[in-house]
Amino acid sequence: MSVMIFQGHRVFLSPILTKTVTSEVRRTWRERLLTLPWRPLRATKFKSVQIPSDEVIQTRDGLFMHPELWERFKLAMDQPNPKGFKERP
């Protein structure tokens, strides 16, 4: 875990902050017949994938976020007018 200072706030970067996305995948007949334990009637299986979390967790100690979210945050802050923000008159 690395620590950075951003505008007076401590930012903790942790690759552990991920979300699990589960999807249902159809099994082929070959897989159904040739795998152990043998369960040919089970037509689907579940596949889980870990993806970086889009959440920023704020605590007394600072902000916790995934390193990929930090990179996207820095890119957005480097732009003169980030998408969705209008300049004040």
Q: Is the pLDDT of residue 12 over 90?
A: yes
Do 11 and 29 belong to one domain? no
89 belongs to a structural domain: no
| Burial bucket for residue 3 (CB in 10 Å: 0-12, 13-18, 19+) | exposed
Do 77 and 60 belong to one domain? yes
- Which residues constitute the domain of residue 34? 20-51
For 31-58, the pLDDT digits (tens) are 999 989 999 999 999 999 999 999 999 9
87 belongs to a structural domain: no
60 belongs to a structural domain: yes
Residue 4 CA to residue 78 CA, distance in Å, equals 17
C-beta atoms surrounding 66 within 10 Å = 21
Domain count, the chain: 2
Say how many residues make up the chain.
89
Do 24 and 47 belong to one domain? yes
88 belongs to a structural domain: no
Residue 57 CA to residue 63 CA, distance in Å, equals 6
73 belongs to a structural domain: yes
